[in-house]
Structure 1
């Protein structure tokens, strides 16, 4: 890889890291490209050159973060309590992801789901449904509803002061024991 390509990739990485902080703090509407560029140590024109717009930068950033969680925390339908616990850990390790997702929904509407998130969700629902069909986990809930409950339990501690990882895992254990 030549120096120009290395510089381009380094600049993009710096912009994405600076944007993660900025968007998590201020949302899409409140984020400022001049602050992102300054923190990344480059000209704000680079944002437009690499991402097309502030919204394009946000979209790319959200896709990268969703892909990271999907890769690092794969669905385990045979162990939904463990999956909920690992999601909880991932969100605790990188709480900015939850803020990005919240800002996306607040500013784009609750019906607007980024395609990487929608695709990952479809895959997870299919995995849960297959485990239910095989009799490996409870079929007392629709696969979509069960996945929603598990995922929302993993987020619970971020909106409920007395919730913690143990509560999340125990709650999902009781849920799938139905």
Structure 2
């Protein structure tokens, strides 16, 4: 179904680009292929984004925005936050593949996007506030805690079968929740 709604076309383009970049990375992605996935012309891609690199960055920013909005962090229950991140990774494995490509393609500059910096600062501030209230341990800095929580949440997303067989699928989520809660529990 054709539509003249540019916002709908842009959204379809971002979704198609996510799939294309997750499968091939920036270097291997082809504009004609992702345009076809989006149901638009390759020329129209360039009316939305200056180049393939700009589209790649836009996909990254959209992912950050969706995760921040879709998986709000409650610093008082970081175990459940980690579980929701894990659930999101299971529901959208292409996002983790895209992020892996993004890290490979962008290297040191990958974490320096304004979208990421703002989201991380807000989360670190929330953890620091929970630490001040004594809800979260102060054995680690707020930044260290956030990094540990996010890595535990995603630890099974990009692993091979040998690693995945170590813990049955039905217990992975509860393992994450328990591990995070123990990690961040204040000393007694």
Same fold (TM over 0.5): yes
Asked whether the equivalents of residues 157 and 165 of structure 1 are also in contact (C-alpha less than 8 Å), the reply is: no
Unpaired runs of 5+ residues, structure 1, are: none
Which residue of the other structure, out of 157, 165, 175, is the alignment partner of 1:167? Answer: 175
Deviation at 1:110, TM superposition (A): 3.3
Name the structure 2 match of 1:156. 155
- How well do the aligned residues superpose, as a CA RMSD in angstroms? 1.5
Runs of 4+ in 1 over 2 A off after TM superposition: none
1:57 is aligned, of 55, 58, 76, to 55
The match for 1:126 is: 125
Deviations 1:94-141 (A, max 9, x none): 111111211111011134322211210111001001110121211111
Larger deviation: 63-72 or 153-162?
A: 153-162
For these two proteins, the number of residue pairs brought into alignment is 174
Normalising by the residue count of structure 1, what TM-score does the alignment of the two structures yield? 0.92
Structure 1 segment 1-178 matched on structure 2, within 5 A: 4=4, 6=5, 8-113=6-111, 114-158=113-157, 159=159, 160-161=163-164, 162-163=166-167, 164-177=172-185, 178=187
**Deviation string for 1:47-105 (max 9, x for gaps)?**
11101111111111111111111111111110011111111111111111111211111
TM-score, with length taken from structure 2 = 0.87
Aligned to 1:112, the other structure's residue is in SS state helix
